[in-house]
């Protein structure tokens, strides 16, 4: 298990995020955690609820450093995954929420896939345990079937039973988080580019009439201060501008944001989207800003590259990574559309599409252009993107090209549905592959009285088999293709012949092109 960053990283507050199927209680649990610990203040009559909040937890073993925990209320898998990709895996712990009365559902399974690809440490939180007639052991078994081995099932992933409704089990959950952090440490190296003082990850941005653009961020390294220079890259340009102001999660004006805390940056000149990374510097220098942005990309890519082996980590932690070779029966799709109405119409039509048990699985959908985050999401979930009457952002298109993500644009709904149908038809048709059986040198050619050619040869490798397909190859070119319809050794009909043996073969269609010196490759079609 990876603990290498433990010693250097005790400076940052642990970051915890949450995944699970809709209605399994993510919001309820987070509200319980938040309300038990934070006094939300009313500012201008609006509760400043943001997507990251920090709590203080009392019972923390030996380590006073970990007396605070920051929770990110991700608005779905998309955000979590962007944090993983763009932020260099900023979450230390991920809570997988499973409703006790409902078990594992499609989004739970997706969450599990995302958790496997991430190096955040998972904790399974079985929620709604206040309900009667529950079978928690069944959930544990279902988890095990999906390679999530919890304690008591041969693995060491903690499982905590809670009720978001009554609050039962929430203190134990916080203790478990604290303990896991104590054991595992915080992974994020928090390395900053030279002459940069802080880094933050954008969770969401809104346009505010009085304050301008306001970005909710989580600081992941160093400390960003009012008066410093905010540096970021956007659409190939580097921006540097004065850091005008911060607001804490409770809506108070603050002067700085330290690593591990969530807050808002006020008055940024661009509306930064989810997944953007901003840095701070004490110097107003455009060239330096460019260097910082470039170096930051490098650092985060290194973190990511280092983290490209989550499978190995996962196997180590969860005891084996058996490949389940089941045919994929679902086409994962992400739908972006020009309006809510058209989106609903598309989703309704797609719901009905079924080709021999093959159907679509809508990973995500929304109104608006195709952005980088859609492509990132598609990459992780192996989805295709269907764009209806919307544009594809240039950066997103470039990323899609390099990651081989398919984006299809349409302006007629039935064309979209038709194409999905075609893809499902292709998926449901068994694929044929060629399996090499052997090859032979053609040494002689005889022509029979009926015009058929007999290829006389000797097997060089493997075997030549009657009834199977073959190519006649000259140099790198296939000069003929057919099926071996007759195979003889001398006058005797044989089924197959092995390496070193001579044979006479007739292939159909008759191999008019074959010449002495060509090679005969025999192969089998496997579905």
Q: Which residue has the tokens 């009313």?
A: 42
Smallest distance, Å, CB 142 to ligand GDP? Answer: 18
Q: Considering the rule CB under 6 A, would residue 102 count as an interface residue with ligand GDP?
A: no
Q: Which of 3, 4, 8, 131 binds ligand GDP (CB under 6 A)?
A: 131
Kind and range of the H or E element at 223? strand 212-225
Residue showing tokens 């540097």: 240
Of 46, 9, 114, nearest to 364 by C-alpha is 114
∠10-16-17 over CA atoms, to 5°?
155
Nearest approach, Cβ of residue 71 and ligand GDP (Å) = 13
Q: Which of residues 39-78 bind ligand GDP (CB under 6 A)?
A: none
Confirm or reject binding of residue 111 to ligand GDP (CB under 6 A): no
Q: Which helix (H) or strand (E) holds 345?
A: helix 340-352
Question: How many residues bind ligand GDP, per CB under 6 A?
Answer: 15
431 burial type by CB count under 10 A (0-12 exposed, 13-18 middle, 19+ buried): exposed
C-alpha span between 53 and 273 (Å, rounded): 20
Cross-strand pairs, 383? none
- Binder of ligand GDP out of 13, 14, 16, 28 (CB under 6 A): 28
Complex with ligand GDP: residue 128 or 187, whichever CB lies closer = 128
* Binding-site member from 2, 26, 453, 466 for ligand GDP (CB under 6 A): 26
Quick one: 134 or 317, whose CB is closer to ligand GDP? 134
Q: How far is the CB of 379 from ligand GDP (least distance, A)?
A: 25
Task: Give the CA angle between residues 336, 342, 346 to the nearest 5°.
Answer: 75
How far is residue 256's CA from residue 279's CA, in Å, rounded to a whole number? 13
Nearer residue to ligand GDP within complex by CB, 24 or 86 = 24
Determine, following the binding rule CB under 6 A, whether residue 130 of this chain makes contact with ligand GDP.
yes
Contact segment (CB under 6 A) with ligand GDP among 116-124, 142-150, 160-168, 213-221 equals 160-168
Regarding 22 and contact with ligand GDP (CB under 6 A), the answer is yes
In the block, tokens 């910082």 appear at 292
CB under 6 A: which stretch of 21-29, 405-413, 433-441, 468-476 binds ligand GDP? Answer: 21-29
Task: Give Cβ neighbours of residue 489 (< 8 Å, ≥ 6 apart).
Answer: 497, 501, 502, 503, 504
For residues 164-183, which are near ligand GDP according to CB under 6 A?
164-165
Q: Is residue 317 within a helix (H) or strand (E), and if so which, with residue range? A: helix 310-318
Does residue 27 touch ligand GDP according to CB under 6 A? yes
Which of positions 421-450 make contact with ligand GDP (CB under 6 A)?
none
Residue 197 C-beta: closest distance to ligand GDP, Å = 36
d(CA 5, CA 186): 7
Stretch touching ligand GDP by CB under 6 A, among 125-133, 149-157, 379-387, 518-526: 125-133
Specify the 3-state DSSP secondary structure of 501: coil
The span of 127-135, 270-278, 318-326, 333-341 binding ligand GDP (CB under 6 A) equals 127-135
**Among residues 127, 220, 280, 281, which is the contact residue for ligand GDP, using CB under 6 A?**
127
- What is the 8-class DSSP label of residue 111? H
Nearest distance, CB of residue 108 and ligand GDP, angstroms? 11
Pick one of 2, 12, 24, 121: the residue that binds ligand GDP (CB under 6 A): 24
State the distance between the two ends of the chain, measured CA to CA, in whole angstroms. Answer: 40
Is residue 92 classed as helix, strand or coil in its secondary structure? coil
Task: Provide the binding-site residues for ligand GDP, judged by CB under 6 A.
Answer: 20, 22-28, 127-128, 130-131, 163-165
């Amino acid at each position: 298990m990876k603990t290498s960053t433990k010693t250097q990283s005790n400076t940052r507050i642990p970051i915890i995020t949450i995944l699970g199927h809709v209605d399994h209680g993510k919001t309820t649990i987070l509200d319980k955690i938040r309300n038990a610990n934070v006094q939300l203040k009313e500012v201008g009559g609006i509760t400043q609820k943001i997507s990251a909040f920090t709590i203080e937890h009392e019972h923390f073993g030996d380590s006073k450093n970990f007396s605070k925990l920051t929770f990110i209320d991700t608005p779905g898998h998309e955000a979590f995954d962007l944090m993983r990709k763009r932020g260099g895996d900023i979450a230390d712990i991920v809570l997988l929420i499973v409703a006790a009365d409902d078990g594992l559902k499609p989004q739970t399974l997706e969450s599990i896939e995302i958790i496997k690809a991430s190096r955040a440490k998972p904790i399974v939180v079985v929620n709604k345990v206040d309900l009667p007639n529950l079978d928690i052991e069944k959930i544990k078994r279902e988890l095990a079937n999906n390679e999530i081995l919890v304690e008591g099932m041969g693995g060491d992933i903690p499982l905590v039973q809670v009720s978001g409704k009554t609050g039962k089990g929430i203190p134990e959950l916080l203790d478990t988080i604290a303990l896991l952090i104590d054991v595992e440490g915080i992974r994020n190296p928090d390395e900053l580019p030279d002459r940069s003082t802080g880094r933050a990850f954008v969770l969401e941005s809104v346009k505010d009439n009085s304050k301008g653009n306001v970005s909710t961020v989580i600081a992941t390294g160093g400390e960003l201060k009012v008066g410093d220079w905010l540096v970021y890259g956007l659409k190939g340009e580097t921006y540097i501008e004065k850091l005008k102001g911060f607001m804490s999660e409770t809506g108070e004006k603050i002067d700085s944001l330290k690593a591990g805390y969530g807050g808002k940056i006020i008055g940024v000149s661009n509306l930064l989207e989810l997944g953007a990374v901003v840095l701070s510097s004490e110097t107003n220098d455009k060239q330096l800003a460019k260097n910082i942005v470039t170096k930051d990309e490098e650092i985060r890519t290194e973190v990511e590259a280092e983290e490209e082996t989550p499978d190995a980590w996962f196997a180590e932690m969860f005891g084996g990574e058996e490949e389940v070779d089941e045919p994929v029966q679902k086409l994962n799709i992400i739908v972006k559309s020009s309006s809510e109405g058209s989106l609903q119409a598309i989703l309704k039509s797609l719901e009905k599409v079924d080709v021999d048990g093959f159907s679509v699985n809508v990973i995500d959908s929304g109104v608006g252009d195709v952005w980088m985050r859609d492509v990132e999401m598609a990459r992780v979930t192996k989805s295709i993107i269907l764009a209806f009457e919307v544009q594809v952002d240039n950066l997103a298109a470039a990323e899609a090209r390099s990651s081989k993500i398919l984006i299809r644009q349409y302006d007629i709904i039935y064309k979209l549905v038709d194409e999905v149908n075609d893809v499902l038809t292709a998926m449901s048709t068994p694929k044929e592959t060629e399996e090499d059986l052997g090859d032979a040198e053609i040494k002689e050619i005889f022509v029979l009285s009926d015009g058929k050619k007999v290829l006389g040869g000797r097997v060089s490798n493997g075997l030549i088999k009657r009834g199977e397909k073959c190519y006649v190859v000259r140099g790198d070119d296939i000069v003929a293709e057919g099926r071996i319809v007759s195979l003889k050794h001398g006058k005797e009909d044989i089924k197959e012949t092995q390496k070193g043996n001579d044979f006479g073969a007739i292939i159909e269609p008759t191999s008019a092109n074959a010449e002495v010196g060509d090679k005969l490759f025999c192969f089998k079609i496997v579905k």
